[in-house]
Structure 1
Amino acid sequence: MSTETVSAQVAEYSLLSLTLDGYNTALSINLPMSVGLIVVILLLFLLLKRAGSKIKGFCTEEITVKEPFTGTEVKIKANTEDKKVAHRIWTELVTRKAAIPFQRDKDVIVEVYDSWHSLFLCVREQISAIPVEKLRNREKVDIEKLIDISTKVLNDGLRPHLTEWQAKYRAWYTAAQCDGKYSELTPQDLQRQYPQYDELVSDIESVNLKLAAFANELKKIVRG
Protein backbone atom coordinates (compact mmCIF):
# COMPACT_ATOMS: atom_id res chain seq x y z
CA MET A 1 0.00 0.00 0.00
CA SER A 2 1.42 3.36 -1.05
CA THR A 3 2.11 6.24 1.29
CA GLU A 4 -0.45 8.33 -0.55
CA THR A 5 -3.15 5.67 -0.01
CA VAL A 6 -2.42 5.45 3.71
CA SER A 7 -2.49 9.21 4.03
CA ALA A 8 -5.83 9.37 2.24
CA GLN A 9 -7.34 6.77 4.57
CA VAL A 10 -6.02 8.59 7.63
CA ALA A 11 -7.47 11.82 6.37
CA GLU A 12 -10.82 10.12 5.74
CA TYR A 13 -11.14 9.16 9.42
CA SER A 14 -9.62 12.31 10.91
CA LEU A 15 -11.61 15.23 12.27
CA LEU A 16 -8.93 17.75 11.34
CA SER A 17 -6.22 17.61 8.69
CA LEU A 18 -3.33 19.96 8.18
CA THR A 19 -1.78 20.37 4.74
CA LEU A 20 1.57 22.07 4.16
CA ASP A 21 2.36 23.25 0.64
CA GLY A 22 5.49 25.28 0.64
CA TYR A 23 4.73 28.50 2.46
CA ASN A 24 0.95 27.79 2.42
CA THR A 25 -0.83 25.99 5.25
CA ALA A 26 -4.41 24.60 4.99
CA LEU A 27 -6.55 23.29 7.82
CA SER A 28 -9.62 21.28 6.86
CA ILE A 29 -12.43 19.79 8.93
CA ASN A 30 -14.03 16.41 8.24
CA LEU A 31 -17.67 17.53 8.42
CA PRO A 32 -19.38 14.07 8.44
CA MET A 33 -17.07 12.85 11.20
CA SER A 34 -17.61 16.03 13.21
CA VAL A 35 -21.40 15.81 12.96
CA GLY A 36 -21.32 12.13 13.91
CA LEU A 37 -19.16 12.84 16.95
CA ILE A 38 -21.52 15.63 18.09
CA VAL A 39 -24.52 13.29 17.77
CA VAL A 40 -22.76 10.59 19.81
CA ILE A 41 -21.85 13.11 22.53
CA LEU A 42 -25.44 14.37 22.72
CA LEU A 43 -26.81 10.83 22.98
CA LEU A 44 -24.35 10.00 25.75
CA PHE A 45 -25.32 13.18 27.58
CA LEU A 46 -29.03 12.35 27.39
CA LEU A 47 -28.44 8.77 28.54
CA LEU A 48 -26.33 9.91 31.48
CA LYS A 49 -28.90 12.54 32.43
CA ARG A 50 -31.69 9.94 32.34
CA ALA A 51 -29.63 7.51 34.41
CA GLY A 52 -28.90 10.27 36.91
CA SER A 53 -32.59 11.03 37.26
CA LYS A 54 -33.35 7.37 37.93
CA ILE A 55 -30.60 7.20 40.54
CA LYS A 56 -32.04 10.22 42.30
CA GLY A 57 -35.44 8.51 42.34
CA PHE A 58 -37.23 10.72 39.85
CA CYS A 59 -39.61 9.34 37.25
CA THR A 60 -39.22 10.96 33.81
CA GLU A 61 -42.80 10.14 32.78
CA GLU A 62 -45.79 12.21 33.81
CA ILE A 63 -48.73 10.06 34.94
CA THR A 64 -52.35 11.17 34.83
CA VAL A 65 -54.29 10.04 37.91
CA LYS A 66 -58.08 10.20 37.98
CA GLU A 67 -60.14 10.47 41.16
CA PRO A 68 -63.18 8.23 40.47
CA PHE A 69 -65.84 9.93 42.58
CA THR A 70 -65.74 13.40 40.99
CA GLY A 71 -63.63 12.68 37.91
CA THR A 72 -60.87 15.08 39.01
CA GLU A 73 -57.59 14.44 37.19
CA VAL A 74 -54.05 15.44 38.17
CA LYS A 75 -50.72 14.95 36.44
CA ILE A 76 -47.96 13.58 38.64
CA LYS A 77 -44.27 13.05 37.92
CA ALA A 78 -43.59 10.89 40.95
CA ASN A 79 -40.24 10.44 42.63
CA THR A 80 -39.36 7.60 44.98
CA GLU A 81 -40.88 9.30 48.00
CA ASP A 82 -44.16 9.92 46.16
CA LYS A 83 -44.26 6.27 45.12
CA LYS A 84 -43.80 5.15 48.72
CA VAL A 85 -46.79 7.24 49.82
CA ALA A 86 -48.88 5.91 46.91
CA HIS A 87 -47.87 2.34 47.76
CA ARG A 88 -48.88 2.69 51.41
CA ILE A 89 -52.32 4.04 50.49
CA TRP A 90 -52.70 1.40 47.76
CA THR A 91 -51.84 -1.34 50.27
CA GLU A 92 -54.53 -0.10 52.66
CA LEU A 93 -57.09 -0.14 49.85
CA VAL A 94 -56.39 -3.63 48.53
CA THR A 95 -55.75 -5.44 51.81
CA ARG A 96 -58.73 -4.09 53.72
CA LYS A 97 -62.45 -4.17 52.90
CA ALA A 98 -62.18 -0.96 50.94
CA ALA A 99 -61.27 -1.71 47.33
CA ILE A 100 -62.39 -5.33 47.64
CA PRO A 101 -65.88 -6.14 46.27
CA PHE A 102 -68.52 -6.61 48.97
CA GLN A 103 -69.74 -10.22 49.24
CA ARG A 104 -73.31 -10.28 50.53
CA ASP A 105 -73.13 -13.85 51.79
CA LYS A 106 -69.80 -13.40 53.63
CA ASP A 107 -68.97 -9.80 54.50
CA VAL A 108 -70.17 -8.00 57.63
CA ILE A 109 -71.12 -4.35 57.17
CA VAL A 110 -69.69 -3.13 60.48
CA GLU A 111 -66.33 -4.66 59.54
CA VAL A 112 -66.42 -2.78 56.24
CA TYR A 113 -67.01 0.46 58.14
CA ASP A 114 -64.09 -0.36 60.44
CA SER A 115 -61.84 -0.82 57.38
CA TRP A 116 -62.97 2.48 55.93
CA HIS A 117 -62.14 4.14 59.24
CA SER A 118 -58.63 2.66 59.07
CA LEU A 119 -58.29 4.02 55.53
CA PHE A 120 -59.15 7.50 56.79
CA LEU A 121 -56.45 7.20 59.44
CA CYS A 122 -53.87 5.94 56.92
CA VAL A 123 -54.30 8.89 54.56
CA ARG A 124 -54.20 11.32 57.48
CA GLU A 125 -50.95 9.72 58.65
CA GLN A 126 -49.42 10.17 55.20
CA ILE A 127 -50.33 13.84 55.28
CA SER A 128 -48.99 14.44 58.79
CA ALA A 129 -45.77 12.48 58.08
CA ILE A 130 -44.65 14.93 55.39
CA PRO A 131 -42.43 17.68 56.91
CA VAL A 132 -43.74 21.20 56.34
CA GLU A 133 -40.43 22.34 54.82
CA LYS A 134 -40.77 19.68 52.13
CA LEU A 135 -44.28 20.81 51.23
CA ARG A 136 -42.87 24.31 50.72
CA ASN A 137 -40.25 22.94 48.36
CA ARG A 138 -41.31 23.23 44.74
CA GLU A 139 -40.15 19.65 44.15
CA LYS A 140 -42.93 18.49 46.48
CA VAL A 141 -45.78 19.82 44.32
CA ASP A 142 -46.52 16.31 43.05
CA ILE A 143 -46.78 14.76 46.50
CA GLU A 144 -49.23 17.50 47.43
CA LYS A 145 -51.30 16.55 44.38
CA LEU A 146 -51.25 12.91 45.49
CA ILE A 147 -52.34 13.77 49.02
CA ASP A 148 -55.02 16.18 47.76
CA ILE A 149 -56.59 13.64 45.42
CA SER A 150 -56.47 10.94 48.11
CA THR A 151 -58.17 13.31 50.53
CA LYS A 152 -60.80 14.04 47.91
CA VAL A 153 -61.54 10.30 47.70
CA LEU A 154 -62.21 10.32 51.44
CA ASN A 155 -64.26 13.51 51.55
CA ASP A 156 -66.20 13.12 48.31
CA GLY A 157 -66.31 9.34 48.23
CA LEU A 158 -66.42 7.73 51.66
CA ARG A 159 -67.72 10.57 53.82
CA PRO A 160 -71.12 11.02 52.05
CA HIS A 161 -71.92 7.33 52.46
CA LEU A 162 -70.83 7.24 56.09
CA THR A 163 -72.78 10.40 56.89
CA GLU A 164 -75.90 8.91 55.33
CA TRP A 165 -75.72 5.36 56.66
CA GLN A 166 -73.14 4.52 59.30
CA ALA A 167 -74.61 6.01 62.50
CA LYS A 168 -78.15 4.80 61.99
CA TYR A 169 -77.04 1.36 60.80
CA ARG A 170 -74.68 0.82 63.73
CA ALA A 171 -77.40 1.89 66.17
CA TRP A 172 -79.83 -0.58 64.59
CA TYR A 173 -77.24 -3.39 64.49
CA THR A 174 -76.25 -2.94 68.14
CA ALA A 175 -79.90 -3.06 69.20
CA ALA A 176 -80.61 -6.06 66.96
CA GLN A 177 -77.77 -8.03 68.54
CA CYS A 178 -79.52 -7.69 71.90
CA ASP A 179 -82.90 -8.70 70.48
CA GLY A 180 -83.76 -12.27 71.43
CA LYS A 181 -85.60 -12.98 68.17
CA TYR A 182 -82.34 -12.63 66.26
CA SER A 183 -80.19 -14.64 68.68
CA GLU A 184 -79.79 -17.62 66.34
CA LEU A 185 -78.78 -15.58 63.31
CA THR A 186 -75.26 -15.18 61.98
CA PRO A 187 -73.96 -11.60 61.55
CA GLN A 188 -74.55 -11.93 57.79
CA ASP A 189 -78.15 -13.07 58.29
CA LEU A 190 -78.76 -10.50 61.00
CA GLN A 191 -77.70 -7.57 58.83
CA ARG A 192 -80.17 -8.67 56.16
CA GLN A 193 -82.95 -7.83 58.60
CA TYR A 194 -82.07 -4.14 58.35
CA PRO A 195 -85.10 -2.42 56.73
CA GLN A 196 -82.98 -0.64 54.09
CA TYR A 197 -80.48 -3.45 53.61
CA ASP A 198 -80.57 -3.58 49.79
CA GLU A 199 -80.23 0.17 49.42
CA LEU A 200 -77.39 0.30 51.95
CA VAL A 201 -75.42 -2.57 50.43
CA SER A 202 -75.91 -1.26 46.88
CA ASP A 203 -74.29 1.99 47.98
CA ILE A 204 -71.42 0.11 49.66
CA GLU A 205 -70.84 -1.87 46.45
CA SER A 206 -70.78 1.34 44.41
CA VAL A 207 -68.23 2.94 46.74
CA ASN A 208 -66.07 -0.20 46.72
CA LEU A 209 -65.96 -0.27 42.91
CA LYS A 210 -64.73 3.32 42.83
CA LEU A 211 -62.17 2.66 45.54
CA ALA A 212 -60.93 -0.28 43.46
CA ALA A 213 -60.62 2.08 40.47
CA PHE A 214 -58.62 4.51 42.61
CA ALA A 215 -56.36 1.65 43.75
CA ASN A 216 -55.59 0.96 40.08
CA GLU A 217 -54.72 4.63 39.58
CA LEU A 218 -52.30 4.47 42.51
CA LYS A 219 -50.74 1.35 41.05
CA LYS A 220 -49.83 3.38 37.96
CA ILE A 221 -47.81 5.70 40.20
CA VAL A 222 -46.14 2.82 42.04
CA ARG A 223 -45.10 1.11 38.81
CA GLY A 224 -44.35 4.33 36.90
Structure 2
Amino acid sequence: MTIEQSVSSAASTVATEYPILSVTIDGLKTALNVNLPVSLGIIVGILAIFFLIKLAWAGLKGFHAEEITIKDPLTGTEVKIRASYEDKKVAHKIWTELVTRKAALPFQRDKDLIIEVYDSWYALFQCVREQIAAIPIEKLQGREKADIEKLVDISTRVLNEGLRPHLTEWQAKFRAWYDIARTNEKCRSPQDIQREFPQYDQLVSSIEEVNKNLNAFACELKKIVRT
Protein backbone atom coordinates (compact mmCIF):
# COMPACT_ATOMS: atom_id res chain seq x y z
CA MET A 1 0.00 0.00 0.00
CA THR A 2 1.37 3.38 -0.93
CA ILE A 3 1.70 6.29 1.43
CA GLU A 4 -1.02 8.14 -0.49
CA GLN A 5 -3.43 5.19 -0.08
CA SER A 6 -2.71 4.97 3.68
CA VAL A 7 -3.42 8.65 4.17
CA SER A 8 -6.62 8.40 2.10
CA SER A 9 -7.84 5.37 4.11
CA ALA A 10 -7.18 7.07 7.45
CA ALA A 11 -8.99 10.19 6.32
CA SER A 12 -12.04 8.15 5.34
CA THR A 13 -12.39 6.70 8.88
CA VAL A 14 -12.40 10.04 10.69
CA ALA A 15 -15.77 10.54 12.52
CA THR A 16 -17.86 13.46 11.44
CA GLU A 17 -18.71 15.90 14.26
CA TYR A 18 -21.97 17.83 14.48
CA PRO A 19 -21.84 20.81 16.84
CA ILE A 20 -25.10 20.95 18.81
CA LEU A 21 -24.89 24.65 19.58
CA SER A 22 -23.30 27.37 17.52
CA VAL A 23 -23.26 31.13 17.85
CA THR A 24 -23.17 33.42 14.84
CA ILE A 25 -22.19 37.04 15.31
CA ASP A 26 -22.93 39.39 12.42
CA GLY A 27 -22.25 42.95 13.39
CA LEU A 28 -24.78 43.84 16.09
CA LYS A 29 -26.80 40.65 15.56
CA THR A 30 -26.13 37.47 17.48
CA ALA A 31 -27.84 34.19 16.59
CA LEU A 32 -27.91 30.97 18.63
CA ASN A 33 -28.31 27.91 16.45
CA VAL A 34 -29.34 24.47 17.71
CA ASN A 35 -28.16 21.69 15.46
CA LEU A 36 -29.62 18.27 16.19
CA PRO A 37 -29.65 15.09 14.14
CA VAL A 38 -33.10 14.43 12.68
CA SER A 39 -33.84 11.39 14.89
CA LEU A 40 -32.83 13.20 18.08
CA GLY A 41 -34.85 16.22 17.05
CA ILE A 42 -37.96 14.08 16.60
CA ILE A 43 -37.52 12.56 20.08
CA VAL A 44 -37.09 15.98 21.67
CA GLY A 45 -40.15 17.24 19.82
CA ILE A 46 -42.30 14.31 21.01
CA LEU A 47 -41.18 14.83 24.61
CA ALA A 48 -41.96 18.54 24.38
CA ILE A 49 -45.46 17.83 23.04
CA PHE A 50 -46.07 15.23 25.78
CA PHE A 51 -44.96 17.73 28.45
CA LEU A 52 -47.28 20.44 27.09
CA ILE A 53 -50.22 18.02 26.97
CA LYS A 54 -49.55 17.02 30.58
CA LEU A 55 -49.52 20.66 31.66
CA ALA A 56 -52.73 21.34 29.78
CA TRP A 57 -54.42 18.31 31.34
CA ALA A 58 -53.35 19.39 34.82
CA GLY A 59 -54.87 22.79 34.19
CA LEU A 60 -58.12 21.42 32.79
CA LYS A 61 -58.52 18.53 35.25
CA GLY A 62 -61.79 19.04 37.03
CA PHE A 63 -62.87 21.78 34.59
CA HIS A 64 -65.49 19.52 33.04
CA ALA A 65 -66.48 17.98 36.37
CA GLU A 66 -70.04 18.62 37.43
CA GLU A 67 -70.36 21.34 40.04
CA ILE A 68 -72.31 20.15 43.06
CA THR A 69 -73.48 21.84 46.23
CA ILE A 70 -72.77 20.22 49.57
CA LYS A 71 -73.90 21.38 52.98
CA ASP A 72 -71.96 21.55 56.21
CA PRO A 73 -74.07 19.34 58.55
CA LEU A 74 -73.23 21.49 61.59
CA THR A 75 -73.58 25.04 60.26
CA GLY A 76 -75.87 24.48 57.28
CA THR A 77 -73.47 26.47 55.13
CA GLU A 78 -73.52 25.44 51.48
CA VAL A 79 -70.38 25.26 49.35
CA LYS A 80 -69.93 24.46 45.66
CA ILE A 81 -67.39 21.85 44.60
CA ARG A 82 -66.27 20.44 41.27
CA ALA A 83 -65.47 16.91 42.35
CA SER A 84 -61.95 16.09 41.17
CA TYR A 85 -60.25 12.71 41.49
CA GLU A 86 -58.75 13.70 44.86
CA ASP A 87 -62.13 14.91 46.14
CA LYS A 88 -63.81 11.65 45.18
CA LYS A 89 -61.03 9.50 46.61
CA VAL A 90 -61.13 11.21 50.01
CA ALA A 91 -64.93 11.39 50.08
CA HIS A 92 -65.32 7.72 49.17
CA LYS A 93 -63.03 6.45 51.92
CA ILE A 94 -64.64 8.60 54.63
CA TRP A 95 -68.14 7.77 53.36
CA THR A 96 -67.33 4.04 53.44
CA GLU A 97 -66.09 4.35 57.01
CA LEU A 98 -69.31 6.10 58.01
CA VAL A 99 -71.86 3.80 56.35
CA THR A 100 -70.19 0.47 57.14
CA ARG A 101 -69.79 1.12 60.86
CA LYS A 102 -72.05 2.41 63.63
CA ALA A 103 -70.78 5.97 63.29
CA ALA A 104 -73.55 7.25 61.03
CA LEU A 105 -76.29 4.74 61.90
CA PRO A 106 -79.20 5.54 64.23
CA PHE A 107 -78.56 4.31 67.75
CA GLN A 108 -80.89 1.44 68.75
CA ARG A 109 -81.31 1.58 72.49
CA ASP A 110 -82.37 -2.05 72.85
CA LYS A 111 -79.57 -3.47 70.70
CA ASP A 112 -76.56 -1.20 70.28
CA LEU A 113 -73.64 -0.97 72.68
CA ILE A 114 -72.28 2.44 73.60
CA ILE A 115 -68.75 1.02 73.78
CA GLU A 116 -69.00 -0.15 70.15
CA VAL A 117 -70.24 3.26 69.07
CA TYR A 118 -67.21 4.87 70.71
CA ASP A 119 -64.90 2.36 69.01
CA SER A 120 -66.53 3.20 65.68
CA TRP A 121 -66.05 6.92 66.25
CA TYR A 122 -62.40 6.34 67.08
CA ALA A 123 -61.93 4.45 63.79
CA LEU A 124 -63.62 7.35 61.99
CA PHE A 125 -61.21 9.82 63.58
CA GLN A 126 -58.30 7.71 62.40
CA CYS A 127 -59.69 7.40 58.87
CA VAL A 128 -60.33 11.12 58.41
CA ARG A 129 -56.91 12.06 59.78
CA GLU A 130 -55.19 9.57 57.46
CA GLN A 131 -57.10 10.79 54.39
CA ILE A 132 -56.35 14.44 55.11
CA ALA A 133 -52.66 13.69 55.74
CA ALA A 134 -52.42 11.76 52.45
CA ILE A 135 -53.78 14.60 50.28
CA PRO A 136 -50.95 15.91 48.03
CA ILE A 137 -51.87 19.55 48.62
CA GLU A 138 -48.49 20.70 47.29
CA LYS A 139 -49.32 19.12 43.90
CA LEU A 140 -52.77 20.66 43.59
CA GLN A 141 -53.44 24.03 42.04
CA GLY A 142 -56.23 26.51 41.43
CA ARG A 143 -59.84 25.32 41.66
CA GLU A 144 -58.84 21.74 42.49
CA LYS A 145 -56.87 22.87 45.53
CA ALA A 146 -59.65 25.20 46.69
CA ASP A 147 -62.27 22.45 46.41
CA ILE A 148 -60.29 19.84 48.33
CA GLU A 149 -59.66 22.43 51.06
CA LYS A 150 -63.43 22.97 51.37
CA LEU A 151 -63.92 19.23 51.87
CA VAL A 152 -61.11 19.12 54.45
CA ASP A 153 -62.62 22.07 56.35
CA ILE A 154 -66.04 20.40 56.60
CA SER A 155 -64.51 17.05 57.60
CA THR A 156 -62.37 18.51 60.37
CA ARG A 157 -65.29 20.61 61.65
CA VAL A 158 -67.50 17.53 61.90
CA LEU A 159 -64.82 15.83 63.99
CA ASN A 160 -63.74 18.75 66.16
CA GLU A 161 -67.12 20.39 66.72
CA GLY A 162 -69.52 17.51 66.18
CA LEU A 163 -67.74 14.54 67.70
CA ARG A 164 -65.05 15.72 70.07
CA PRO A 165 -67.28 17.62 72.56
CA HIS A 166 -69.35 14.50 73.27
CA LEU A 167 -66.27 12.33 73.69
CA THR A 168 -64.66 14.87 76.00
CA GLU A 169 -67.73 15.00 78.22
CA TRP A 170 -68.90 11.40 78.23
CA GLN A 171 -66.47 8.77 76.98
CA ALA A 172 -63.99 8.49 79.87
CA LYS A 173 -66.78 8.76 82.45
CA PHE A 174 -68.87 6.02 80.84
CA ARG A 175 -65.99 3.63 80.12
CA ALA A 176 -64.78 3.82 83.74
CA TRP A 177 -68.29 3.15 85.06
CA TYR A 178 -68.98 0.37 82.53
CA ASP A 179 -65.77 -1.54 83.30
CA ILE A 180 -66.72 -1.73 86.98
CA ALA A 181 -70.39 -2.51 86.29
CA ARG A 182 -69.57 -5.30 83.85
CA THR A 183 -67.27 -6.93 86.38
CA ASN A 184 -69.99 -6.90 89.03
CA GLU A 185 -72.84 -7.96 86.70
CA LYS A 186 -71.41 -10.85 84.70
CA CYS A 187 -74.75 -12.59 84.30
CA ARG A 188 -76.52 -9.67 82.63
CA SER A 189 -76.34 -8.60 78.99
CA PRO A 190 -74.19 -5.58 78.08
CA GLN A 191 -77.32 -3.73 76.94
CA ASP A 192 -78.97 -4.21 80.31
CA ILE A 193 -75.82 -3.17 82.14
CA GLN A 194 -75.33 0.06 80.19
CA ARG A 195 -78.94 1.11 80.84
CA GLU A 196 -78.03 1.33 84.54
CA PHE A 197 -75.64 4.21 83.88
CA PRO A 198 -76.91 7.09 86.06
CA GLN A 199 -77.10 9.55 83.13
CA TYR A 200 -78.05 7.01 80.48
CA ASP A 201 -80.85 8.99 78.82
CA GLN A 202 -78.78 12.15 78.60
CA LEU A 203 -75.78 10.24 77.25
CA VAL A 204 -77.76 8.36 74.59
CA SER A 205 -79.60 11.50 73.51
CA SER A 206 -76.22 13.09 72.85
CA ILE A 207 -75.07 10.01 70.90
CA GLU A 208 -78.22 10.17 68.78
CA GLU A 209 -77.59 13.83 67.99
CA VAL A 210 -73.99 13.14 66.98
CA ASN A 211 -75.01 10.20 64.80
CA LYS A 212 -77.68 12.34 63.13
CA ASN A 213 -74.99 14.86 62.14
CA LEU A 214 -72.68 12.08 60.95
CA ASN A 215 -75.48 10.61 58.86
CA ALA A 216 -76.06 14.03 57.27
CA PHE A 217 -72.33 14.24 56.58
CA ALA A 218 -72.41 10.81 54.93
CA CYS A 219 -75.25 11.96 52.67
CA GLU A 220 -73.23 14.99 51.54
CA LEU A 221 -70.18 12.81 50.86
CA LYS A 222 -72.36 10.48 48.82
CA LYS A 223 -73.13 13.37 46.46
CA ILE A 224 -69.41 13.71 45.75
CA VAL A 225 -68.86 9.97 45.38
CA ARG A 226 -71.76 9.51 42.95
CA THR A 227 -71.02 12.46 40.63
> In the alignment, is the contact (CA less than 8 A) between 2:71 and 2:220 conserved in 1?
yes
The 5 A counterparts of 1:102-181 are: 102-135=107-140, 137-138=141-142, 139-179=144-184
Question: What are the equivalent positions in structure 2 for 1:1-224 lying under 5 Å apart?
Answer: 56=61, 59-135=64-140, 137-138=141-142, 139-179=144-184, 182-224=185-227
1:113-149 CA deviation, whole Å, 9 max, x = no partner? 00000000000001111124125x2232111111111
Please give the root-mean-square deviation of Cα atoms over the aligned residues, in Å: 1.9
Query: Where does the alignment leave 5 or more consecutive residues of structure 1 unmatched?
Result: 1-51
TM-score if structure 2 supplies the norm length? 0.70
Question: Structure 2 stretches of 5 or more lacking a match?
Answer: 1-56
Identity of aligned residues (%): 72
Change (3 A) 1:114 1:133: same
Label 1:58 to 1:122 Cα distance change in 2 as closer, same or farther (>3 A). farther
TM-score if structure 1 supplies the norm length?
A: 0.71
Secondary structure of the 1:157 match is helix
CA distance in 1, matches of 2:137, 2:90: 16
Number of the residue aligned with 2:16: none
Distance change in 2, residues 1:58/1:126 (3 Å): farther
Q: Secondary structure at the match of 1:74?
A: strand
Q: Provide the C-alpha distance between the structure 2 equivalents of 1:68 and 1:132, rounded to a whole number of angstroms.
A: 24
CA contact (8 A) 1:108 1:188 kept: yes
Aligned structure 1 segments of 4 or more residues deviating by more than 4 angstroms: 55-59
**Which amino acid in the other structure matches residue 100 of structure 1?**
L
Aligned-pair distance for 1:97?
A: 0.7
Aligned length: 169
| In structure 2, distance between residues paired with 1:189 and 1:218 | 35
Equivalent position amino acid for 1:155 in 2: N
Q: Distance in 2 between matches of 1:186 and 1:164?
A: 25
Q: Secondary structure at the match of 1:195?
A: coil
